[in-house]
Amino acid sequence: MVAPARPHFVLFGSSIVQLSFSHGGWGSHLSDVYSRKADILLRGYYGWNSRRALQVLNQVFPKDAATQPSLVIVYFGGNDSMGPHSSGLGPHVPLDEYVENMRKILIHIQGLSERTRIIVLSCPPVNEEIVRGNTSTIFSELVRTNELCQSYSEACIKLCKELDIKVVDLFTALQKRDDWMNVCFTDGIHLAAEGSKIVVQEILRVLKEADWEPCLHWKSMPTEFSEDSPYDLVAADGKTTLNPSEWTFYREIQWD
């Protein structure tokens, strides 16, 4: 570890998490927003479902760790919601089992510490036309429909309300844009830059509105080494210096 210690925000999930630092991804935006405030730790696993997440849960989140995360953002469901393969192989997990797997995952994370907070991302929609057109000699047929995505999303949201856990309804959030099918995905499933912007907006909204102590919204968190210094850039008056520690003008998006 390097010092000083910052709060840890862990992104835990499948490919939408693993790829969150690609294509202008939402993980890279969060790392920028929380620079000098929190460390964003990526625990994303391409192709995984809630069964595989359960298998490694104690390794990723050991309860006896010296430091526990301040925030865990969890996403599983897209692969679980895929139609079952006739062989019995593949990522599909029946809806009832998915809910119980997520329940176990979330209760485990809740038990890490009294100050560990959770935000869950529900299953987003897909562009079915692009998914159906993705022909490959490598994969068997991919069955991804918005009817399935919606049912897993709604079940996830219902579970989170039961457990009093914050949840982002990605199935609805992405579709608020009229052109969502054309701009939100790289391949009909995974998020492009425009889709990731929506994810960031929704996460920051939850963090701003949550009644958590301490508040984990970026504007409420201390900035590391933010004191004034005579070594900062000299101001136009030639007598004072400019402290750049809170500057955000360089960002493409001025996040709230």
Q: Catalytic residue positions? A: 14, 187, 190
Exposed, middle or buried by CB within 10 Å (0-12, 13-18, 19+), for 222? Answer: exposed
Measured CA distances, 221 to 6, 47, 96 (Å): 10, 34, 39
**For residue 94, cis peptide bond before it (omega within 30 degrees of 0):** no
Closest by CA to 245, choosing from 224, 230, 231, is: 224
Q: What is the dihedral of CA 4, 115, 201, 129, to 10 degrees?
A: 110
| Beta strands 39-44; 71-75: pairing state | unpaired
At 50, phi and psi to the nearest 5? -70, -25
What SS3 state is found at 58? helix
Q: Which residues of 139-170 are buried (b: 16+ CB within 10 A; e: fewer)?
A: eeebebbbebbbbbbbbbbebbeeeebbbbbb
Tokens of 110: 């809740």
